[in-house]
Amino acid sequence: AAGPTLRTGIAVMLRRTSMLFRPMVRGLSTAAALPEKPPVPLFGIAGRYTNALYCAAAKNGDLLKVESDLGALAGILQTSKAIKAFTMDPGVSRSEKAKLLVGSLGDAGACNTTKNMVAVLCESGRMKELPTVMKMYATLMSAAKGEVSALITSSHELEEAQMESIRSQIAEISGSDLTKVQIDVKVDPGLLSGYTIEIGDKFVDYSSATQLKKLAVALGL
């Protein structure tokens, strides 16, 4: 059975990780301007839990605090295989899992809305939905703040000059202030050269692989 040592360890890690998210919360010091209802539709089991979490957080004035809490929790699940294994272990009773995780969150200063959500997931045997719930909540908060997510897939690591050019393209495509655009970059050598940009339902392809495929079709190859 998990004991006080694990609970203390989780709480310490949560406190340390949450420090990374405090500047984000201070940057938008009030949730008054954020919508009270989920700004984009979500589906599936995780979607239902996330919608309920957002509505509860809005009602309690905890939208930003829950965002910070979940960011810290996501951080330790990514860095600690032991803690992640504990949260997903079907051999640990639901009540024990809830007691330890909710206690750790409380020790780290998490709000009641976050603790209640984790307790519900534990006690309903839905902890496997937690990673998706955290991602979906982040998506809702980005939409609520008017932020835009962009994914750049490049055939190779991009230099700063190239990134600057691509940022200008993203601003033009999205019609958004770049300060509100969250840009993620990944490398896919299969593109041969060039890159692609995904922004919502928009997809722009500047890769050689696609151009070669088009050429092959045109030539009847």
Q: What is the pLDDT of residues 96-152, one digit of tens each?
A: 999 888 888 888 889 999 999 999 999 999 999 999 999 999 989 988 888 777 889
- In this prediction, residue 5 has a pLDDT band, given cuts at 50, 70 and 90, of low
Residue 48, both tokens: 């239902």
Question: Residue range 175-192: average pLDDT?
Answer: 80
Residue 218, both tokens: 């045109």
Identify whether the C-beta of residue 34 lies closer than 8 Å to the C-beta of residue 144: yes
- Between helix 112-123 and helix 44-60 the angle, nearest 10°, is 150
Residue 11: the pLDDT is 60
More confident position, 174 or 23: 174
pTM over the 0.85 mark = no
Residue 103: the pLDDT is 87
Q: What is the pLDDT of residues 17-49, one digit of tens each?
A: 554 444 344 444 455 588 999 988 889 999 999
φ and ψ at residue 34, rounded to 5 degrees: -85, 145
Among 114, 90, 99, which residue's Cα sits nearest to residue 14? 114
Question: Residue range 167-177: average pLDDT?
Answer: 78
Identify whether the C-beta of residue 14 lies closer than 8 Å to the C-beta of residue 110: yes
φ and ψ at residue 41, rounded to 5 degrees: -75, 140
Residue with tokens 């539709």: 41
Give the span between the Cα atoms of 11 and 115, in whole angstroms.
Answer: 13
